[in-house]
């Protein structure tokens, strides 16, 4: 079964190159591929050494590891200190490490801290709400408007003397909407609390200067910029503590465990190639052209978040008279890999908590389609996608109308 699915994906990739889910994970950057080929080269086995080993092979691995860390730091602002970076296994781990570093320390002192976040965060942040409440803390949700933009002015209404932390997503992974993080940082700092920014979808898409931003914790994910998965990153502001979850001597005692050398070499190579301004200028032309074509071809199209600032590559769509979760599967069968606006866990499709917070019905929140592209996405693939999407939406609408007529006829027969 697995071999058959692998062959199907390979055939689709060779035929159409219809991968339109870059927000879930970008393809490996060419510079990362080049670095990994060197890593796995039989002519240079020293790359396989543990960076913590003190022999010559280990020292060489440690030197390569340090170079990658420096490249990553440089992509996050000219004054970013590589030693402020804590390398983790994922963006989810980095998010939860930041949150626990603030809230768990308060809990251990017998306090009942208050945490403010939003209803449109990544699931790794949403999961921590129950964790804090079970331990006696409190959580408040900062509301968002109909475009999904967090309302920073509402902080004053939610603030409490025991408020310890605010967590805010910089770029929403479902809609691409950009939050006013600079405003949030100023407000939270003025009130004397700490602020954590999830920047996983901002890295490589927006210019980033962490020193200028002034947050206390900022998290990233390496596979969003074309590195290997399994590479998360927590930037820690000066004077800000980390409460390690995995004890060990690595990462200056802030996160134990043998370093993922191959992963971080790939991320370092990808980070060196980032140019968010040029990338955005190229990709937004593709996204806006696709958006215009879809709106023309499919009446009743809603572009979620269109009225707010968005990153260049993300398009989140819902359609009038379309409900349910079949669109993504139908598009997959047609050869297009896109995402839904909903979270999938253990095969169970749930409504998108992001679209629910923006005011959509449960049915609409289950029928969203997220298209996320890169600068290598060919226009021909997007043009074909628009045509297939039109056909699919029309088919779903017709089937819905037929079902509605049958329901009316059955009700009439009973009266």
**What per-residue confidence (pLDDT) applies to 48?**
73
pLDDT band with cut points at 50, 70 and 90 for residue 403: very low
pLDDT band with cut points at 50, 70 and 90 for residue 8: low
Mean pLDDT over each residue of the chain, to the nearest integer? 90
Residue 285 pLDDT more than 50? yes
**What per-residue confidence (pLDDT) applies to 409?**
42
Point out which residues pair with 349 in neighbouring strands: 344
Residue 15 pLDDT more than 80? no
> Lowest-pLDDT range, 126-130, 173-177, 238-242, 342-346?
342-346
pLDDT (tens digit, 9 = 90+) per residue, 337-353? Answer: 999 866 554 456 788 99
Two tokens at 206? 């927006």
pLDDT band with cut points at 50, 70 and 90 for residue 17: low
**Among 10, 153, 344, 403, the one annotated catalytic:** 344
> Lowest-pLDDT range, 100-109, 231-240, 291-300, 324-333?
324-333
**What per-residue confidence (pLDDT) applies to 366?**
87
- Is 344 annotated as catalytic? yes
CA neighbor of 149 nearest in space, from 1, 359, 319: 359
Residue 44 pLDDT more than 80? no
pLDDT band with cut points at 50, 70 and 90 for residue 59: confident
Strands 301-303, 369-372: pairing is unpaired
Q: What are phi and psi of 123, to 5 degrees?
A: -60, -30
Residue 415 pLDDT more than 60? no
Q: Provide the percentage of residues in the chain whose pLDDT is more than 90.
A: 74
pLDDT (tens digit, 9 = 90+) per residue, 82-134? Answer: 999 999 999 999 999 999 999 999 999 999 999 999 999 999 999 999 999 99
d(CA 299, CA 319): 8
**What per-residue confidence (pLDDT) applies to 402?**
43
Q: Give me the residue label for tokens 């139908």.
A: 330
CA dist list (Å): 209 to 79, 202, 214, 330: 8, 11, 9, 41
**What per-residue confidence (pLDDT) applies to 43?**
60
CB 129 within 8 A of CB 139: yes
**Cα-trace Rg, the chain:** 23
Domains detected in the chain: 2-17+275-409 (3.90.1150.10), 30-272 (3.40.640.10)
């Amino acid at each position: 079964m697995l071999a058959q699915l692998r062959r199907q994906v390979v055939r689709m990739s060779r035929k159409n190159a219809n991968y339109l889910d870059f927000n879930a994970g970008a393809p490996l950057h060419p510079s990362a591929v080049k670095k990994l080929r060197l890593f796995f080269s039989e002519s240079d086995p020293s790359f396989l050494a543990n960076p913590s080993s003190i022999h010559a092979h280990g020292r060489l691995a440690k030197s390569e590891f340090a170079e990658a860390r420096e490249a990553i730091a440089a992509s996050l602002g000219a004054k970013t200190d590589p030693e402020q970076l804590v390398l983790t296994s994922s963006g989810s781990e980095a998010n939860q490490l930041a949150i626990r570093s603030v809230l768990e320390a308060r809990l251990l002192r017998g306090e009942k801290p208050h945490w403010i976040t939003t209803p449109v965060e990544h699931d790794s942040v949403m999961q921590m709400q129950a964790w804090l409440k079970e331990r006696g803390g409190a959580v408040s949700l900062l509301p968002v408007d109909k475009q999904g933009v967090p309302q920073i002015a509402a902080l004053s209404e939610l603030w409490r003397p025991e408020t310890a932390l605010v967590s805010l997503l910089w770029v929403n992974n479902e809609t691409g909407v950009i939050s006013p993080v600079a405003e949030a940082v100023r407000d939270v700092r003025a009130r004397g609390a700490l602020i954590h920014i999830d920047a996983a979808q901002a890295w490589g898409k927006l210019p980033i200067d962490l020193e200028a931003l002034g947050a206390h914790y900022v998290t990233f994910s390496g596979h969003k910029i074309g590195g290997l998965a399994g590479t998360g990153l927590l930037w820690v502001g000066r004077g800000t503590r980390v409460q390690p979850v995995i004890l060990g001597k690595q990462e200056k005692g802030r996160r134990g465990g043998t370093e993922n050398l191959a992963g971080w070499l790939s991320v370092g190579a990808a980070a060196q190639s980032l140019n968010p301004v040029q990338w955005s200028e190229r990709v937004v032309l593709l996204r806006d052209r696709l958006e215009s074509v879809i709106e023309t071809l499919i009446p009743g199209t809603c572009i979620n978040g269109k009225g707010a600032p968005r990153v260049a590559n993300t398009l989140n769509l819902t359609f009038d008279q379309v409900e349910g979760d079949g669109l993504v599967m139908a598009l997959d069968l047609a050869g297009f890999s896109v995402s839904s606006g909903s979270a999938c866990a253990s095969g169970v499709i749930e409504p998108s908590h992001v679209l629910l917070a923006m005011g959509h019905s449960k049915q609409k929140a289950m029928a969203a389609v997220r298209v996320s592209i890169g600068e290598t996405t060919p226009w021909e693939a997007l043009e074909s996608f628009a045509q297939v999407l039109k056909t699919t939406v029309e088919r779903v609408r017709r089937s819905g109308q037929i079902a509605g007529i049958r329901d009316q006829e059955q009700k009439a027969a009973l009266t």
